[in-house]
Structure 1
Amino acid sequence: MRVNSITTARNGHRSALAFEQYVRGKRTIVEGTVLFLETADHLEAVMSQARSGDVIFAPAGAARRRDSRVVEYQGDLCEPGDKVMLGEGCTFELRDYVAAPFISIVGPTVLRQRSAEGIAAFFSDADTARDSGVFVDQLLSGAVLLDSFASFIGTDSAGGFLDRVHVTAAGEYRDGPDGLLLGVVGDEWSAIESRAIHGAGRGRAFARIVDRGMLEADLDDRPWLARYIAAIDLLRGWDGVPTRPAISGFGGHLVRALDELPALPGVVSASAPYLLTGDGDEWVLVDPLSRRRTRLGVDTARAAECLIATGNESAAVALLAAELGRGTSNVASLVHEVQIRFAAVGLDLTTSGREGL
């Protein structure tokens, strides 16, 4: 009985991670593609094309034969207010992104853009966070899955391999419910992957609701968007994160010179460390990859921020000197010590990821 309970728990955990991969469009632990079928009509045809590592979400009772790849669900996930239940105690509610700032998150929730207005609202919220440091509270909830967020930054899998496919009631294969048309039921999987490769890039998941050229222009205007999305992901996965955390680069910097001097060349990568503070003068440096957190005093935090912002030790020294009104020789040792300190634990603050414009 205990073995069965453990097995059920493991299967439930894998199903939840597979569903997360389907919603967000970003790989979790699933080896293959996650497919979500709106109706049972196409299950047999999809199963004939699916591979051993794939996961197929299908309406309950749809499978004519037992298949370990199939996860049955109850409910719908088409209109705001719809709920889908993957198993006992695992229910997700669909909500419209436009309404995100005005809803209460009471359980697992999928926020879907659903329209050009939803995409515009997402960009507006990102701009607000960038300018003022205020993030939409609902996005920071660990219970929220933001639909197709990976498509904003173009994280297509290597070789065109698909992380997820949505199968509509009409039998269309799409990259998400509003995504690029990849084929129809009955097509060979190789043809679907070929179309995915041809249509790779940012915005593929929104091809049905917004012009990709216009979306590309909006994304080009926000070269920092990947860092914004990574910041949301970091905060929502951090138990005990300070209320209203201040994040360097969003609403300003600890080093004021970064806001007053001309823009630095390039944009800090989403993979570079984040500098946060909550209450008081204590700052926290967070590695977004390992999620390791290091508490810093204000002087060390300033030096770290200069290293992250410039990606160069000499430039960081000059920037910190300008901030403090001192000569470069007076701050060079501090900057170097901070650089060496983090390099010793495998975190190079100057090469952890700069992206040119």
Structure 2
Amino acid sequence: MDASSIITSGDGLCTATAFEQYVSGRRTLGAGAVFFVESGEHVEAVRSQTRLDDVVFAPAGSARRTDPRVVVYHGSLREPGDEITFDGAHAVGLGEYVMVPLLSIAGPTLIRQNSAEGVAAFLSDADTAKNSGVFIDALLSNAVLLDSLPSFLGPIREGEALARVHVTAEGEYRDGPDGLLLGIVGDGREEIEVRARECEGRGRGFARIVDRGVLEADLDDRPWFARYLAAIELLREGDGVPSRPTISGFGGHLVRALDELAALSGVVCASAPYLLTGDGDEWVLVDPPSRRRTRLGVDSARAAECLIATGDESAAVALLAAELGRGTSGVASMVNEVQVRFAAMGLDLTTSGRECLS
């Protein structure tokens, strides 16, 4: 989730980008790592292990303001209800996920799973969205930052093993406040980097509160989970997205066979195009990598869904013909027209589907 839209401080965007990297564990700040230090007594030891492109969030009164790598904060983020401010402004509050249905989001809010129950609730809400198409309102707010989302998505990319380090009040280095133990204050930078590389994978950000093997199994049962997280991102963007749209694949598909036949379970990865309801009978196809949006009539939207789901134009023709109760010759031109239209825009719907089939 993009922190730059909800918090700026000091040098503005850099601080916002660094804070997002700390919250998510996803690299947004070039090659640097982000250290969030709870106790002032550890700041100098942490600074001694940082590099020029790192950022250190340090409690007020504990660090020299002349160090450009240091961002001073007031307050704490230890318990739900806590709040921090940067340079005396731009407050960010802390909430826990199990309380999300009761939270009133009045300003920038960091929401952590915070417990095994919180992780379970997050998975359960994903199931609800998948089965019924209903997404939790708070997750769609641009004022909300969600903790450790990449920990649901599998191995991180080369060079991103050490994106963030949470330094606890007890002097532990962790991948986030509830994450994997990477070392203790006094350990060298190389030691914690080795630990981070050796223990990558799903569940890193929750290693202190859940069994990583159990979480792996839970996520294996939800191969569409990355697509769910990407759908949340898409709905939060707002620009060009209708208010509370239906997203095909969540609460059902345009093409009924994709819900009824196990052999046609549709796509599961985050990079395949999404079909959202538009104005009236229109649908909007969104290509995640480019964020390009294209309006379609309902029959063209069905044709696009068939192309994405099957990854093959001939199979898409057969699927659409069955859906519409027409002969294949009667729908072949429609499917081809949709395929050619998007190919001219640089988007091959069959390739997008084929790469993401379950």
Name the amino acid aligned to 2:253.
Answer: H
- Going from structure 1 to structure 2, the CA distance change for 1:188 and 1:104 (only over 3 Å counts) comes to same
Distance (whole Å) between structure 1 residues aligned to residue 176 and residue 10 of structure 2: 26
Instruction: Tell me by how many angstroms 1:280 deviates.
Output: 2.2
Normalised to the residue count of structure 1, the TM-score between the two structures is 0.93
Q: Which moved more, 1:73-82 or 1:31-40?
A: 31-40
Instruction: State the partner residue of 1:143.
Output: 143
Query: Match of 2:48, SS?
Result: helix
How far residue 261 of structure 1 moved from its aligned partner, in angstroms, is 2.3
Contact kept? 2:9, 2:16, Cα under 8 Å: no
The aligned counterpart of 2:204 is 204
Say how many residue pairs are matched.
350
Distance of 1:61 and 1:263 partners within structure 2: 61
Greater displacement, 156-165 / 40-49: 156-165
SS at the partner of 2:134? coil
The 3-state SS of whatever aligns with 1:187 is: coil
- Gap change, CA 1:197 and 1:138, over 3 Å in 2: same
Alpha-carbon contact 1:38-1:169 (below 8 Å) kept: yes
- Shift in Å, 1:242: 2.5
1:255 matched to 2:255? The reply is: yes
1:211 to partner: Cα distance: 0.4
2:69 is the counterpart of 1:103: no
Structure 1 segments unaligned to the other structure (5+ residues): 1-7
Give me the whole-angstrom Cα distance separating, in 2, the residues matched to 1:277 and 1:266. 18
Confirm or deny: 8 A CA contact 1:134 1:244 kept in the other structure: no
Runs of 4+ in structure 1 off by over 6 angstroms are: none
SS of 2:35 mapped into structure 1: strand
In structure 2, list runs of 5 or more residues that go unmatched.
1-7
Helix, strand or coil at the partner of 1:31: coil
Alpha-carbon distance, 1:71 to partner:
0.6
User: What pairs with 1:28-177 in structure 2 (closer than 5 Å)?
Assistant: 28-64=28-64, 66-87=66-87, 89-159=89-159, 161-177=161-177
Alignment TM-score, normalising by the size of structure 2: 0.93
Find the aligned partners of 1:285 and 1:355 in 2 and give their Cα distance. Answer: 16
% same residue: 70
**2:74 and 2:88 in contact (8 A); partners too:** no
Superimposed CA distance per residue, residues 9-65 of structure 1 (whole angstroms, 9 cap, x where no aligned partner)? 781221112111111111224431111111111111111111111111111221136
Q: Which moved more, 1:342-351 or 1:190-199?
A: 342-351
Q: How far did residue 87 of structure 1 move? A: 3.5
Query: Cα deviations across residues 175-228 of structure 1 (Å, max 9, x unaligned)?
Result: 100000011111111111111111110001100000011000100000000000
Distance between the aligned counterparts of 1:321 and 1:331, measured in 2?
6
Contact 1:247 / 1:277 at 8 angstroms: preserved in 2?
A: yes
Q: Which deviates the most, 67-76 or 333-342?
A: 333-342
The answer on whether the counterparts of 1:160 and 1:193 sit within 8 Å (CA) in structure 2 is no
Query: Which letter maps to 1:132?
Result: S
Amino acid at match of 2:20: E
The equivalent residue for 1:286 is: 286
Tell me if the contact between 1:160 and 1:194 (Cα under 8 Å) persists in the aligned partners. no
- Give yes or no for contact 2:307–2:316 (8 Å, CA) kept in 1: yes
